Amino acid sequence: MSAKILLVEDDPGLGFVIKDNLSVKGYDVTLCINGEEGHETFEKHSFDLCIFDVMMPKKDGFSLAQGIREKNKKIPILFVTAKSMLEDKLAGFTAGGDDYIVKPFSMEELVMRIEVFLRRSVQQPVEDQIFSLGKYSFDSANLTLLDGSSSKALTQKETHVLRMLCLNQDRVLKREDILKSVWGDDDYFMGRSLDVFISKLRKYLKEDPSVEIANYHGVGFRLEIRTS
């Protein structure tokens, strides 16, 4: 079956062009023209990936992403926008976005990013799926951080970063290695984006002081788990 994509774009011309091009590539695309319509459509149907414009009437893309993240942590969210300021991009990641593409862009680039996310949605091999992190259990295949009877759903990128840290526990993992593996690039903006995701992971793990993601300034990060 073809992947189902929710596209929310208030520019009718651009929305048509994106939908038409993605449909030619074999994707099943549903187009909405504002954030409220996008949220209502998401509630009624099942999708594999979301593409949201940021500046939209009734509900902007960031607010739409936040609302969806309250109910679904796993679905990839890609922002498409004319806003290129670093602060705007970081706000997008904070709102729950997984990636960001700035207008104007090529359809080839958009399709490439979509394909990367859909490949990552396929379940990982059985080995190394579950990691013990102090009182937490990290199920990387199901994008879940477990704490006893409670669980925290992670996004794909949060899962990818934490899994890399787990596989390199007690070793310094270089920033550029994380960036190239997760984002495909290691420029300044992507580096700031990584810091946002590290902060999120630290927040999720804060209830166990024996678990720490240590920062080695200018080099990278190391997952440290102290035992008594």
What's the pLDDT at 126? 43
Can you give the CATH number for the domain in which 183 is found?
1.10.10.10
Distance of CA 26 to the CA centre of its chain: 23
Q: 33 with 77, same domain? A: yes
What's the pLDDT at 191? 62
What's the pLDDT at 38? 93
Q: 97 with 199, same domain? A: no
Q: 135 with 114, same domain? A: no
Task: Give the pLDDT band of residue 186 (cuts 50, 70, 90).
Answer: low
Q: 84 with 189, same domain? A: no
Pairwise CA distance, residues 222 & 94, whole Å: 22
Q: 219 with 149, same domain? A: yes
Q: 35 with 106, same domain? A: yes
Q: 112 with 145, same domain? A: no
> Per this entry, what is the length of the chain?
228
Contacts by 174-179 with C-beta closer than 8 Å and gap 24+? 174/219, 174/220, 175/219, 175/220, 175/221, 176/220, 177/220, 178/220, 178/221
Average pLDDT over residues 195-202: 88
pLDDT surpasses 60 at 114: yes
- Asked if residue 95 lies in contact with residue 198, where contact means CB atoms within 8 angstroms, the answer is no
Q: 32 with 114, same domain? A: yes
Q: 208 with 158, same domain? A: yes
Tally of structural domains, the chain: 2
Q: 58 with 135, same domain? A: no
The whole domain housing 205 covers 130-225
What's the pLDDT at 124? 47
Task: Give the pLDDT band of residue 189 (cuts 50, 70, 90).
Answer: low
- Asked if residue 154 lies in contact with residue 145, where contact means CB atoms within 8 angstroms, the answer is yes
pLDDT digits 0-9 by tens, 126-181: 445 789 999 999 988 888 899 877 888 888 888 889 999 998 888 999 988 888 78
